[in-house]
């Protein structure tokens, strides 16, 4: 029997203040060698790498000992553990010495075999760390999370994090797109406003809030059908209220677990992986330019800020119409910007009068401005950068509209 606990390299370098010398000190040399030697000799040796294995090993030992197949399973776990450890060391070294890694190594443990993927005919698995991100979430009730649940939860959380915790906010997501976003004087008000933004789409949705989920907010959720809810915490009274909906998946995830997650985003393509930094830079008003003759006051700037925080989380081409810190219409995933604007404005209807329109990409032509003006839009916010920006600006000036160019695009595919 060989039992080895490797030096805590990963937890040590997770501390941003760790020095080079401190990191080097916790690179285990002898431990991995012993693990690999024992694993290679599994025909005669059992090898343990984690405390979670001890109880079952002792039970098996008391029942007569490990057979060859069981030792092979332990050997496999040891080789995987060693490979993960070496990958962590090489990745840390690479991050210190290189601007970009020449190799991408993923050694994530399997968390869960999912019922299926996006559709029932697609097998699916969930891999991830247990201390950061969704691996650190606590599911307080409800059915097992699905592949689509996790995608929608991730989208909802990213969107609600746009708002500081002292400002109550709620986000309702369907198929990874926000269908209702709002702030409020309290969380119950924020949720009520977000749900009312698109009541039809809210059916079967995923909801994220940025404050402690209380009884008043929970009562609204208990009255409708939603798939999942995520909050930083839940009161006892809210738990009791939602217990009436046993299938509702209720999760808590604290800010520390969110902050510790990687800033990298991976997407697979045929035969490869694309890696980029997540689009999570804070909104920076210092890059904004008021390009219209009409000037926004502080209240209007706050309205524009809200719309801009929402539109970056809508699939491109994306248009958001909002007013009073609440979405009124969202046009998502359209092949042209005018089509997205038509959807958003149609959803807003008469409520578009005096509202804000936000676009995730620039206006290639002034047609979107003309459409917005015809619906009563008061101000527009967009990245700018089109060769025809002047035409869109002129269209705004002709109608007395405010236009802000942010200098930053937010495509989302």
Active site amino acids: 40, 175
Classify 48 as helix, strand or coil: strand
Decide the pairing of beta strands 249-252 and 379-382.
Answer: unpaired
CA 359 to chain centre: 21
Residues in contact with 11: Cβ distance below 8 Å, sequence separation at least 6, in sequence order:
none
Distances 281 to 161, 163, 173, 312, 334 between C-alpha atoms, Å: 11, 13, 21, 11, 25
Phi-psi region of 86 (alpha: psi -120 to 50; beta: other; left: phi over 0): alpha
Q: What is the DSSP letter of 114?
A: E
What's the gap between Cα 149 and its chain centre? 12
Distance of alpha carbon 176 from alpha carbon 182, whole angstroms: 17
Residues with Cβ within 8 Å of residue 21, at least 6 apart in sequence = none
Closest CA to 352 of 335, 373, 336, 383: 373
Contacts of residue 279, Cβ cutoff 8 Å, sequence gap at least 6: 312, 410, 412
Q: Identify whether the C-beta of residue 182 lies closer than 8 Å to the C-beta of residue 160.
A: no
Characterize 259-296 residue by residue with b for buried, 16 or more Cβ atoms within 10 angstroms of its Cβ, and e for exposed: eebeeeeeeeeeeeeeeeeeeeeeeeeeebeebbeeeb
Phi and psi at residue 169, to the nearest 5°: -145, 150
Q: How far is CA 276 from the centre of its chain?
A: 14
């Amino acid at each position: 029997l060989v039992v080895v606990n490797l030096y805590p390299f990963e937890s040590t370098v997770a501390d941003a203040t760790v020095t080079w010398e401190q990191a080097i000190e916790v690179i285990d040399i002898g431990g991995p060698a012993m693990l690999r030697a024992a694993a290679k000799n599994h025909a005669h040796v059992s090898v343990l790498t984690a405390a979670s294995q001890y109880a079952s090993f002792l039970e098996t030992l008391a029942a007569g000992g490990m057979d060859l197949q069981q030792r092979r399973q332990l050997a496999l776990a040891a080789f995987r553990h060693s490979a993960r450890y070496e990958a962590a060391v090489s990745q840390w070294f690479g991050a210190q010495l290189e601007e970009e890694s020449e190799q991408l190594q993923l050694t994530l443990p399997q968390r869960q075999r999912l019922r299926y993927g996006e559709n029932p005919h697609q097998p699916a698995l969930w891999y991830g760390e247990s201390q950061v991100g969704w691996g650190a979430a606590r599911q307080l009730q409800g059915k097992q999370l699905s592949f689509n649940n996790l995608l929608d939860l991730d989208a909802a959380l990213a969107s609600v994090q746009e708002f500081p915790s002292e400002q109550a906010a709620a986000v309702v997501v369907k198929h990874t797109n926000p269908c209702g976003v709002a702030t409020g004087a309290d969380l119950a008000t924020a949720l009520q406003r977000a749900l009312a933004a698109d009541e039809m789409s809210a059916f079967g949705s995923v909801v994220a809030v940025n404050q402690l989920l209380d009884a008043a907010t929970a009562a609204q959720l208990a009255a409708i059908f939603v798939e999942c809810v995520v909050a930083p915490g839940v009161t006892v009274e809210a738990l009791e209220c939602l217990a009436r909906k046993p299938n509702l998946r209720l999760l808590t995830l604290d800010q520390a677990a969110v902050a510790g997650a990687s800033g990298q985003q991976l997407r697979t393509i045929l035969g490869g992986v694309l890696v980029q930094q997540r689009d999570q830079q804070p909104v920076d008003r210092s890059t904004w330019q008021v390009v219209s003759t009409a000037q926004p006051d502080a209240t209007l700037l706050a309205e524009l800020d809200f719309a801009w925080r929402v539109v970056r989380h809508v699939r491109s081409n994306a248009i958001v119409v909002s007013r009073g810190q609440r979405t009124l219409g969202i046009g998502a995933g359209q092949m042209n910007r005018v089509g997205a604007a038509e959807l958003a404005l149609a959803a807003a209807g008469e409520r578009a009068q005096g509202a804000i329109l936000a676009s995730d990409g620039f206006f290639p032509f002034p047609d979107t401005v003309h459409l917005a003006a015809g619906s009563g839009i008061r101000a527009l916010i967009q990245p700018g950068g089109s060769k025809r920006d002047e035409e869109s600006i002129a269209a705004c000036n002709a109608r007395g509209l405010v236009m802000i160019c942010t200098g930053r695009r937010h495509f989302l595919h």
